[in-house]
Structure 1
Amino acid sequence: MQAALVTMGIIYLFAVLGFWAKRRFKERFHEATLTLVVVYLLHPFLAFWGLTRQSLSYESFSLPVIYFVIITVVSFLSLGLGKIYLQDPKDQSILAVNSVAGNVANIGIPLVLAVLGEEGVYHASLLTIANIFYLYTFGVFFYSRGSFSLKESFFNIFKLPVIWASMAAIFVNYFELPIPSSAQAPLQMGAYAGLVIQLILFGAYLCRIDFQQTNQQLLWMSTGIKTFVLPLASCFIIVLLPLSPVAKVVLFLELAVPMAVNNVNLASLYDCKPKQVAIGVLASSVLFAVLLPLYLWVAHRYIGDF
């Protein structure tokens, strides 16, 4: 657990750098430009690299599908809850997406590495791609709905290259098309660069947050679902799945990680209250650090021995 906490602290150092850069350079630091770089240029590398690292087996295919189904179902339930208690369509969209899309890459992969070693990293990498696929389909649709029509929101999904990069990677993997070893390093560089820059962007948005204008009801609803409801309710499903103990533990931990920093990127891209999204990511990250011993105890006691 100590190794996991140290890893989290080092990772969020990039967010601290983003916070400092925004305070230091002010308007010369353009978050919108970096958002476009991450969404349109670097995340396609992450999707393609993650889906072509290893041949797809039954478990490696079923695990991200199970993850995708779980967060999609909870997302629509959260949307229904938002329509009851929240008036602003943008707030409803934030609740639907921000309460389920987790930081499975920046936090999840290092956490799995610290807890399970290399054995669990491959599964965690696949869940990263499933999470990105959710964000760039349902996430894009919901975040767009605050500013675009239903038709425009749907077509916004296909305007982003991540979807096409994912489809290309699945095609390459399924037909076992060879990828030169010399191409692996550039693909990995692009993937990790996107993760680092989105952390820096997260810190920059935190620098501009006005806590007095934060929707407290939305904040606690979204963090409550992400921190307690999603991982602990999913635990009852995970123990029944026909997966290896390692895969089950990875699935549980990745459902428990805090909100995805990439939520801030998409909320900014579609003008859906990125500052509100950023404060949710911050709150869930703090709660996750506090509750990490509980998550590890539940995983060890009920899901798989490690």
Structure 2
Amino acid sequence: MIDPGTLMGPLWTLLGFVGLGWLAARRLAIDPRPIATLLIYLIAPLTFFRGLLLGGPTPEYLLLTAALFAFCSLIALVIGRLTRRFFAPQESALLAFSAGTGNTGYFGLPVAMILLPPEGVTLYLFCILGVTLYEFTVGFYLSARGQFSVRQSLAKIVRLPLVYAFLAALLASGLDLPMPEALMDGLAVFPATYTLLGMMIIGMTLGRVSLHEVDARFISACVAVRFGLWPLLALAAVLALQAVTPLAPELALALLLLGVVPMAANVVVVAMELAIRPAKGALAVLVTTLAAPLLIPFYLQQMMRLSGL
């Protein structure tokens, strides 16, 4: 049995960060757009460069990363194609981006560290890496296509440093290059900064939201994809893998957890950077985050039962 209380710590911490962002926007009139740029072009690449070096990538781990990247990209492409006829271009692009990702890091990682053994947490981290690579490549492209041409969208992706940070970390790990201890100690501050600023941006955006920007249809679509489609796909993936190969229980649980986390805070970060309806994205992220403590224990218990865990 999964105790809902285990989720309350991560939830209240994240909501506290959201509240700080709301206060910063309302009382200090802080503009979140430069912070979004800082996250995308500096903090996120350094965070995942450090994480990949510490994780010790192996071919098996990287295969897991590649599989999650392809899985997320496929979901986003399909949802993007299906929603074009029902939503405006910017909303459809934002919905497609959000469909391929979730709050696997800020929210999911603390939960994974509670539910999984150390080996399972490592597997989960390399799953997160695949999701993050999707966000800053295919997902960023789909978002940019909401208002930019193909050429402009590709040009924006080429400028993103996270892919280069990923390749640099693989090269350093493959060549077994020693990293100065002072450098690794300095990079240790970035994961917490990434989480703090990523969640604060949601609050900063909500601090500027007016009632006429509440779009129940868009929020409902986001919730349906995140808490309707993703749990089914995660369960189907685990059952399919179990049918063809022995699947370690910790990997199965890691995959199931990916399917039940709330919407990604990076939905707001990317929407802010590209100016594609960040207020709507922030509202949808907040709704799914508030629902997470109620839905995740129920979903995981049922999915674990169905998959024999």
TM-score for both structures, normalised by structure 2: 0.91
Partner of 1:124: 124
Q: Deviations over 1:15-66 (max 9, x none)?
A: 111112211112xx12112112211111111120121113223432222222
AA of the residue aligned to 2:282: A
Partner of 1:294: 298
AA of the residue aligned to 1:23: R
Note if 1:25 corresponds to 2:28: yes
Q: Deviations over 1:128-157 (max 9, x none)?
A: 222221111112112211222110101111
Note if 1:248 corresponds to 2:249: no
AA of the residue aligned to 1:231: P
Partner of 1:274: 278
Give the distance between the partners of 1:67 and 1:228, measured in 2 at CA: 19
Within 5 A, what are the aligned runs for 1:42-191?
Answer: 42-86=43-87, 88-191=88-191
AA of the residue aligned to 1:189: V
Give the distance between the partners of 1:222 and 1:43, measured in 2 at CA: 24
Note if 1:233 corresponds to 2:233: yes
Measured on the aligned residues, the alpha-carbon RMSD in Å equals 1.8
Q: Deviations over 1:148-187 (max 9, x none)?
A: 2110101111101111111111222233322233332222
AA of the residue aligned to 1:196: L
Q: Deviations over 1:73-119 (max 9, x none)?
A: 11111112111322x11111011111231111100100101112434
How many residue pairs get aligned? The number is 302
Partner of 2:268: 264
Name which of structure 1's ranges 55-64 and 147-156 shifts more when overlaid on structure 2. Answer: 55-64
Tell me, which stretches of 5 or more residues in structure 2 are unaligned? none
Q: Are the counterparts in 2 of residues 108 and 124 from structure 1 also a CA contact under 8 Å? A: no
AA of the residue aligned to 2:260: A
Partner of 2:281, secondary structure, is helix
Note if 1:11 corresponds to 2:14: yes
1:210–1:99 CA distance, 2 compared to 1 (3 A)? farther
Q: Are the counterparts in 2 of residues 100 and 230 from structure 1 also a CA contact under 8 Å? A: no
Partner of 2:36: 35
Q: Deviations over 1:214-242 (max 9, x none)?
A: 33222211210111111223211222324
Q: Deviations over 1:236-275 (max 9, x none)?
A: 1222324421012112202321111111111111111110
Structure 1's consecutive aligned runs of 4 or more residues displaced over 4 angstroms after TM superposition are none
1:117–1:13 CA distance, 2 compared to 1 (3 A)? farther
Give the distance between the partners of 1:136 and 1:247, measured in 2 at CA: 24
Partner of 1:102, secondary structure, is coil
Q: Work out the percentage of aligned pairs sharing the same amino acid.
A: 24
